[in-house]
C-alpha cells in the first residue's frame, strides 16, 4: 500500500477540482493508512492534517443504525412494530402513517415521511425529543412502504428511540456503546468538543468558481442522529472495520452480533431505475451493485463539506474521503475508481447519457413536483426538459438553486448535471402502483402537482 502515491493523487485531484482540503484513510490488509492535503479554512490557511476533524454528514446514519441494531439484538426493539409502540408521542400529519410507520421503514428510507425537515430545537439535551414533537405537522412524500425516499427526519426519530430505550441522550449512547469500544477517540458530535481538535470549515460556491468559507459552521444539534458527527478519516474507517470484522471491536468484544451486521447490508429496497443508480438500500447501508463487488457505503453532506465511505467486504478494504468544498464528487469518482480497482478489483460505474440520446415524449414529465423543503419545476423548451430545484424553508439561505438540462437515457430516465464541472446523476420519472406520478432526484421521491398533503 503506497499511501504516498495516493496522497499525491489526492492533492492533484483536489487542486484540479477546487477542493480546499481533504483527508483520506484506507483500510487494507488489516492496516489503516492516512494522508491529507490542502487547508481546513481558506481564510486562515490552517493546514489539513490526518488528525483534523471533518463533518461526515449523513454517514452518521450508519452509526445510528448500528445503535438501533444493538437494541434489536438485545431484544429491546422490534423492527417491524410501529414506532408508536416505543414512542407513543410520535405523530406526523397523516394518521395512517402515524399508526403504522415502523423502525425498519425508517432505517430503509421507505416511511414516506417528508425527510428534509431541518428544524433547530436548541442546544439542550431535550433537542431530539423536541424535534420529534415538531414532526407532528410533517406530510408524506408517499404512503409508507410504497417507494424509497431519503429521509433525514426519520433518523432523528430513530435517535429518539435510542434515547428512550437507553435512558440517555443520543450523543452519550453513541460514545459509550460504539465509539469507545472501537477506539474512535477522535469522533465527536458537539461543537464544544470539536474545538479540542483541528477542524475543517465548509466552503461554498458554484462549480468552476473559487469556493469561499461558509457563513455558518454546521447543522443544528437536533439533526444529530442524522448527520452531526465530526471525525477523522481514520476513525470513519475504524467504524467500517467493525462491520468488516463481524461486529467485533479490536479487542474482540462483540459490539454488534454478526447476524445484525449481515442484516444491515442485506438489500431491502430497490431504487427507481436501480440499474442506473447501481444501488439499493439495506438497513442503514447503501448496497452498491458494482462489477467486482458487492460494495457497501454511504455519503454525507453538510454546509460545504462532503464525505464518502466505500467498503468491500470480500476484500476487507474500506476507504473514507472527507472534504470541505469545491467539486468533491469528481475527486471521489476519479480517486475511488483508481483505488478500488487496484486494491479490491472493483469497478466504479460512471453514469452518463448516451452519445446519441433517444427520442422520448418529454411532455408527460412537465410540471411541478413538491416535497418538504424543496420545490422542483420541470419545463420543456424546444423538446428539451429543464429542471429547476430550489430549497425552501430553513435551508434556502445556504443552498443554491439547482438548474439542469435533462438528457434522455431511456423512457423515464434522464441524466442531469448543473455544468461540465460536475458528474452526471440520474433523474427518474415513474409511477407508484396506484398510478401516482413521481420524480426521483437526489435520492428523493417527489410527488407531482399536489404537494405533500395529498395523503
Q: Which residues are catalytic?
A: 58
Residue 247 CB partners (closer than 8 Å, separation 6+) = 254, 255, 256, 257, 258, 260, 261
Scan for cell 416505543, then name that residue.
Answer: 86
β-strand partners of 446: 439
Q: List for the chain the helix, strand, coil content (%; round to 5).
A: 30, 25, 45
Strands 295-301 and 425-431: unpaired
Which residues does residue 27 pair with via DSSP β-bridges, in sequence order? Answer: 32, 318
Kindly give, in sequence order, each residue whose CB lies less than 8 Å from that of residue 169, ignoring residues fewer than 6 positions away.
Answer: 125, 128, 163
**Three cell numbers written together for 260:** 445484525
Rg (CA), the chain: 21
Question: CA angle at residue 134 from 132 to 140, to 5 degrees?
Answer: 85
Cβ contacts of residue 448 below 8 Å, gap of 6+? 367, 368, 369, 436, 437, 438, 439
Going by C-alpha positions, the residue among 221, 182, 159, 184 that lies closest to residue 53 is: 184
Grid-cell match 403504522, residue found: 100
CB neighbourhood size of 152 (10 A):
23
- Whole-number Å distance between alpha carbons of 83 and 386: 39
- What is the C-alpha separation between 369 and 118, in angstroms, rounded? 20
CA dist., res. 186 & res. 170, Å (int): 17
Amino acid at each position: 500500500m503506497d499511501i504516498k502515491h495516493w496522497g499525491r493523487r489526492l492533492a492533484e485531484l483536489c487542486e484540479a477540482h477546487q477542493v480546499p482540503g481533504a483527508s483520506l484513510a484506507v483500510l487494507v490488509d488489516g492496516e489503516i493508512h492516512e494522508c491529507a492535503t490542502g487547508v481546513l479554512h481558506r481564510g486562515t490557511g490552517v493546514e489539513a492534517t490526518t488528525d483534523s476533524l471533518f463533518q461526515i454528514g449523513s454517514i452518521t446514519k450508519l452509526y445510528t443504525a448500528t445503535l438501533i441494531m444493538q437494541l434489536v439484538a438485545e431484544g429491546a426493539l422490534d423492527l417491524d412494530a410501529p414506532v408508536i409502540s416505543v414512542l407513543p408521542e410520535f405523530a406526523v400529519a397523516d394518521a395512517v402513517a402515524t399508526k403504522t410507520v415502523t423502525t425498519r421503514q425508517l432505517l430503509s428510507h421507505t416511511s414516506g415521511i417528508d425527510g428534509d425537515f431541518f428544524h433547530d430545537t436548541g442546544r439542550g439535551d431535550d433537542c431530539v425529543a423536541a424535534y420529534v414533537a415538531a414532526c407532528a405537522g410533517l406530510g408524506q412524500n408517499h404512503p409508507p412502504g410504497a417507494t424509497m425516499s431519503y429521509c433525514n427526519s426519520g433518523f432523528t426519530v430513530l435517535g429518539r428511540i435510542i434515547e428512550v430505550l437507553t435512558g440517555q441522550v443520543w450523543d452519550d449512547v453513541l460514545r459509550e456503546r460504539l465509539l469507545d469500544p472501537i477506539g474512535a477517540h477522535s469522533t465527536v458530535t458537539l461543537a464544544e468538543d470539536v474545538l479540542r481538535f483541528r477542524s475543517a470549515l465548509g466552503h461554498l460556491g458554484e462549480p468552476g468558481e473559487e469556493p469561499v468559507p461558509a457563513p455558518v459552521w454546521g447543522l443544528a444539534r437536533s439533526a444529530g442522529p442524522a448527520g452531526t458527527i465530526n471525525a477523522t478519516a481514520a476513525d470513519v474507517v475504524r467504524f467500517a472495520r467493525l462491520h468488516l470484522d463481524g461486529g467485533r471491536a479490536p479487542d474482540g468484544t462483540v459490539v454488534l452480533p454478526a447476524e445484525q451486521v449481515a442484516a444491515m447490508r442485506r438489500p431491502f429496497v430497490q431504487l427507481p431505475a436501480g440499474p442506473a443508480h447501481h444501488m439499493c438500500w439495506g438497513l442503514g447501508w447503501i448496497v452498491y451493485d458494482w462489477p467486482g463487488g458487492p460494495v457497501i457505503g454511504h455519503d454525507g453532506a453538510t454546509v460545504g463539506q462532503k464525505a464518502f465511505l466505500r467498503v468491500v467486504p470480500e476484500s476487507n478494504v474500506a476507504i473514507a474521503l472527507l472534504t470541505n468544498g469545491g467539486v468533491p464528487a469528481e475527486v471521489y469518482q476519479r480517486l475511488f475508481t483508481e483505488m478500488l480497482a487496484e486494491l479490491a478489483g472493483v469497478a466504479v460505474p460512471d453514469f452518463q447519457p448516451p452519445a446519441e440520446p433517444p427520442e422520448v415524449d418529454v411532455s408527460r414529465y412537465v410540471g411541478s413536483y413538491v416535497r418538504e423543503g424543496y420545490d422542483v419545476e420541470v419545463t420543456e423548451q424546444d423538446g428539451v426538459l429543464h429542471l429547476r430545484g430550489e430549497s425552501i424553508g430553513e435551508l434556502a439561505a445556504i443552498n443554491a438553486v439547482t438548474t439542469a438540462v435533462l438528457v434522455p437515457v431511456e423512457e423515464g430516465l434522464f441524466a442531469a448535471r448543473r455544468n461540465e464541472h460536475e458528474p452526471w446523476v440520474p433523474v427518474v420519472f415513474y409511477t407508484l402502483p396506484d398510478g401516482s406520478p413521481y420524480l426521483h432526484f437526489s435520492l428523493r421521491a417527489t410527488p407531482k402537482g399536489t404537494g405533500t398533503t395529498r395523503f
